[in-house]
């Protein structure tokens, strides 16, 4: 019979929810694995519905606990993933620099964010798969797209780990700074702001990576 070792008290100053969105195949799951577990899996398997992992980091003098949600990119799952915009504080929108269709669909994703997410949600654009030789979207094109929506742009490679940590560090820092500007009664003085749509999933994930 297996026994569970009780974890030490889970301490953090701020809990934030971040969504990874974008077309199927752009590398959202690989980005999540690289960031939370420092892994890369060469085999491709589409995310079914939604999954999430936990990562705790230091931002300035605060311990930030991130719930990072990996959403399915296929159209048939959009009605499922739309409900997970609720409570999200940050969105990382991913396209693949070697796939023009995923880049062209950024406008569609931004429209969905506008419809379902809060007005002040923090957004970041990622151009993933920079390690591949068949790039068709230039840095200048991607930067222009990001400037169109007034959001930061990062180029990443989940395979090589390029800019993955920097992207998440940046969005966590921006969210933290935004919450610090809110009145104390709204941000609870960093009193563990919870944005979890499913508390059972949260409890289950507490035994996952941190």
| Element housing 203 (H / E) | helix 199-205
The verdict on residue 45 lying in a domain is: yes
**5 falls within a domain:** no
- Indicate whether 165 belongs to any domain: yes
Decide if 67 contacts 20 (C-beta within 8 A): no
Residue 121 has phi, psi (to 5 degrees) of -65, 140
Instruction: Provide the domain limits for residue 178.
Output: 14-199
- Domain membership flag for residue 163: yes
The total number of structural domains in the chain stands at 1
CATH number at residue 75: 3.40.50.300
| Residue 146: inside a domain | yes
The partner residues of 65 in beta bridges, in order of sequence, read 15, 56
Give per-residue pLDDT as tens, 41-100.
765 555 444 677 899 999 998 999 999 998 766 555 556 567 778 889 999 999 999 999
Q: Is residue 7 part of a domain?
A: no
The model's pTM: 0.79
Summarize pLDDT for 84-137 with one digit per residue, the tens. Answer: 788 899 999 999 999 999 999 999 999 989 988 998 999 999 999 999 999 999
């Amino acid at each position: 019979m297996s026994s569970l070792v009780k974890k030490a008290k889970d301490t953090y100053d701020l809990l934030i929810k971040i969504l990874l969105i974008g077309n199927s195949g752009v590398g959202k799951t690989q980005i999540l694995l690289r960031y939370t577990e420092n892994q890369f899996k060469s085999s491709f398997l589409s995310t079914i519905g939604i999954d999430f992992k936990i990562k705790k980091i230091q931002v300035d003098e605060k311990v930030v606990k991130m719930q990072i949600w990996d959403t399915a990119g296929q159209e048939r799952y959009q009605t499922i993933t739309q409900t997970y915009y609720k409570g999200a504080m940050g969105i990382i929108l991913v396209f693949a620099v070697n796939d023009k269709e995923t880049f062209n669909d950024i406008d569609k994703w931004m429209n969905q964010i506008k419809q379902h997410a809060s007005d002040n949600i923090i957004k970041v654009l990622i151009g993933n798969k920079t390690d591949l030789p068949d790039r068709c979207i230039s840095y200048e094109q991607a930067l222009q797209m990001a400037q169109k929506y007034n959001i930061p742009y990062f180029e990443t490679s989940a395979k090589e780990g390029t800019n993955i940590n920097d992207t998440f560090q940046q969005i966590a820092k921006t969210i933290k700074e935004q919450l610090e500007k809110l009145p104390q009664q709204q941000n609870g003085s960093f009193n563990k702001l919870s944005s979890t749509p499913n508390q059972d999933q949260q409890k289950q994930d507490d035994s996952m990576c941190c």
